[in-house]
Amino acid sequence: MKKSVLFLVCLLISTASFSQSKGKSIAIIPQPVSIIKGLGEFTLPKSIVIQAENTPDLIHTVAFLRERLSESTGYGIISVTSSSNPTIKLQLNAQNDIRLGNEGYSLSVTPTLVTIKANKPVGLFYAAQSLIQLFPEEIESKVQVNNISWTAPVAEIVDYPKLGWRGLMFDVARHFFTKDEVKQYIDAMARYKYNLLHLHLTDDEGWRMEIKGLPRLTEVGAWRVNRTGTFGDFIPPTANEPRDYGGFYTQDDIRDLIKYAKDRFVDIMPEIDVPGHSLAAIAAYPDLSCTPEAVNYEPRSGEKIMDWSGGAPPKALIDNTLCPANEKVYSFMDSVLTQIAQLFPFEYIHLGGDEAPINFWQNNEQVKALMVREGMKDIKEVQGYFTSRVEKIVESKGKKLMAWDEVLEGGVSQSTAVMSWRGIKYGIEAAHNKHQVVMSPTTFAYLDYMQSDVISEPKVYASLRLNKSYEFEPVPDGVDPQYIKGGQANLWTEQIYNIRQAEYMTWPRGFAIAESVWSPKGRKNWPEFFSRVESHFKRMDLAEIKYAPSVYDPIFKATKTLDNRLKIELSTEVSELDIYYSFDNSFPDKFYPKYTTPLIAPIDAFQMKLITYKNGKPIGRMLTMPISELKIRARL
Q: What percent of the chain has pLDDT over 90?
A: 92
CA distance 526 to 523: 10
Per residue in 96-112, pLDDT tens? 999 999 999 999 999 99
Strand order in the sheet with 151-159: 34-43, 151-159, 105-109, 114-118, 88-92, 47-51, 76-80
- Beta-carbon contacts of residue 364 (< 8 Å; ≥ 6 apart): 290, 291, 323, 325
- Residues 226-233: what's their mean pLDDT? 91
- Residues 137-162: what's their mean pLDDT? 96
* From 175, 198, 277, 350, active-site residue: 277
Q: By the 8 A CB rule, do 184 and 219 touch?
A: no
Just give the CATH number of 165-535: 3.20.20.80
* From 156, 355, 409, 429, active-site residue: 355
Q: By the 8 A CB rule, do 222 and 208 touch?
A: yes
Using alpha carbons only, give the angle 201, 206, 212 rounded to the nearest 5 degrees. Answer: 70
CA distance 538 to 487: 27
Class of domain 553-634: mainly beta
Nearest 5°: phi and psi at 286? -60, -25
CA distance 379 to 202: 25
Q: Is 355 a catalytic residue?
A: yes
Per residue in 527-586, pLDDT tens? 999 999 999 999 999 999 999 999 999 999 999 999 999 999 999 999 999 999 999 999
Per-residue confidence at 412, pLDDT binned at 50, 70, 90? confident
Q: By the 8 A CB rule, do 608 and 630 touch?
A: yes
- Residues 163-191: what's their mean pLDDT? 98
Query: Residue 399: is its pLDDT beyond 90?
Result: yes
Per residue in 239-254, pLDDT tens? 999 999 999 999 999 9
Q: Does this model's pTM top 0.85?
A: yes
Q: Domains of the chain: which residue ranges?
A: 2-159, 165-535, 553-634
| Residue 288 one-letter amino acid | L
Distance set, CA 117 to CA 97, 170, 484 (Å) = 9, 32, 28
| Lowest mean pLDDT across 28-32, 355-359, 466-470, 577-581 | 355-359
Tell me, what DSSP letter sits at residue 140?
A: G
Rg (CA), the chain: 27
CA distance 615 to 385: 61
- What pLDDT, on a 0 to 100 scale, did the predictor assign at position 6? 40
- Residues 25-46: what's their mean pLDDT? 96
pLDDT averaged over every residue in the chain: 94
Q: Is 277 a catalytic residue?
A: yes
- What pLDDT, on a 0 to 100 scale, did the predictor assign at position 306? 93
Using alpha carbons only, give the angle 416, 481, 122 rounded to the nearest 5 degrees. Answer: 85
* From 41, 103, 140, 203, active-site residue: 203
Contacts within 8 Å (CB) and 24+ apart, 604-608: 607/583, 608/568, 608/581, 608/582, 608/583
- What pLDDT, on a 0 to 100 scale, did the predictor assign at position 10? 40
Q: What percent of the chain has pLDDT over 70?
A: 96
CA distance 298 to 320: 10
Q: Is 159 a catalytic residue?
A: no
- What pLDDT, on a 0 to 100 scale, did the predictor assign at position 310? 85
Per residue in 295-335, pLDDT tens? 999 999 999 999 988 888 889 999 999 999 999 999 999 99
Per-residue confidence at 23, pLDDT binned at 50, 70, 90? low
CA distance 522 to 532: 18
CA distance 275 to 324: 8
- What pLDDT, on a 0 to 100 scale, did the predictor assign at position 1? 41
Just give the CATH number of 2-159: 3.30.379.10
